[in-house]
Amino acid sequence: MLLATYYLARRIERADAINAGRAAAAHSRLHPESGATFCEIGGGIAAFTAPGSPLTHAIGVGMNGPVTEADIEAIEILYRERECPAVNIDLCPLADPSLAEVLGQRGYRAVEFNNALARRIARFDAWPGDGRVRQIGPDDFDLWARTVMGGFFERADPAPEEVGLGETLCAMEDSAAFVAESDGAPAAGAAILITEGLAFLMGDSTLPRYRGRGLHRALIEARLACAVARECDLAVATTLPGTISQRNYQRCGFEILYTKLNMQRDFEPRTPAV
């Protein structure tokens, strides 16, 4: 049984913050004109890829001690200067209490809950494999992005910016992407990020017409096998509470460690100068 200790949460949140920075770096390589960047603030990392992108947020803040109002103001300036409509900061329940206090004082509100799940990795996870799942290379990044984003947004033809988001995930350092096929066609996709001995399982998505065929579980097991090969000791995933994704992870031995809040502050529209 895993216990949600401060030290385990700090390890997970720190690694996830590094991943946020890697996403910004990958986006910058793919789109140098975007101004994608990241910086360390308040013990975490604030990453920017594009205004309104789910990859534009701050993670790990408050996991290494108290947070000041100046820390949060610095994060807000980073996003305001890049014309983001709002600032999003992940609030881990094991973060220093000062983070929640400062966010409350500055008018933040909770806009989403996410469960952080984890499980230890064992040798038996190096399974022989499900023939429907294969790891892909750079030539298939577009196929992966269209499959995953098609499942997320439940439409056959994702928008260009949605496909671009998927391509950024594929291009991240120390990542690997997998596709599951059904009836000879790509039906589901997922990815894994390796960070400081942790295997982050992310990007899970199945096209609507292929759901209920065990593809998600096959993708989880394939990535656990990848984590064994990369000598990770722990696998981590994040899901919305009560979803099918959460249940599939729990069926594969993952335990809920804690629930994070996505805290948001909307920026007031700027008044044009007279």
Q: What is the pLDDT of residues 122-180, one digit of tens each?
A: 888 887 678 899 999 999 999 999 999 999 988 878 888 889 999 999 999 999 999 99
Same domain for 202 and 138: yes
Q: Which residue, among 83, 76, 134, 136, has the nearest Cα to 105 in the 3D structure? A: 76
Co-location of 111 and 126 in the same domain:
no
Same domain, 25 and 102: yes
Q: How far is CA 129 from the centre of its chain?
A: 25
CATH number of the domain encompassing residue 210:
3.40.630.30
pLDDT tens-digit profile of 69-84?
Answer: 999 999 999 999 999 9
- The total of structural domains in the chain comes to 2
The DSSP line for 78-107 is HHHHTT-SEEEEEE-TTS-HHHHHHHHHTT
d(C-alpha 4, C-alpha 8), whole Å: 6
Q: Which of 58, 78, 71 is nearest to 102 (CA)?
A: 71
Is 249 within the bounds of a domain? no
The residue range of the domain holding 39 is 6-115+260-266
Backbone angles phi, psi at 78, to 5 degrees: -55, -45
Give the predicted TM-score (pTM) of the model: 0.92
Low-confidence ranges of the chain (pLDDT < 50): 274
Contact 44, 58 (CB under 8 A): yes
Q: Which two tokens stand for residue 196?
A: 């400081």
66 and 101 housed in the same domain: yes
Q: What is the CA radius of gyration of the chain?
A: 19
Residues 178 and 219: beta-carbon distance below 8 Å: yes
Q: What is the average pLDDT value for the chain, to the nearest integer? A: 94
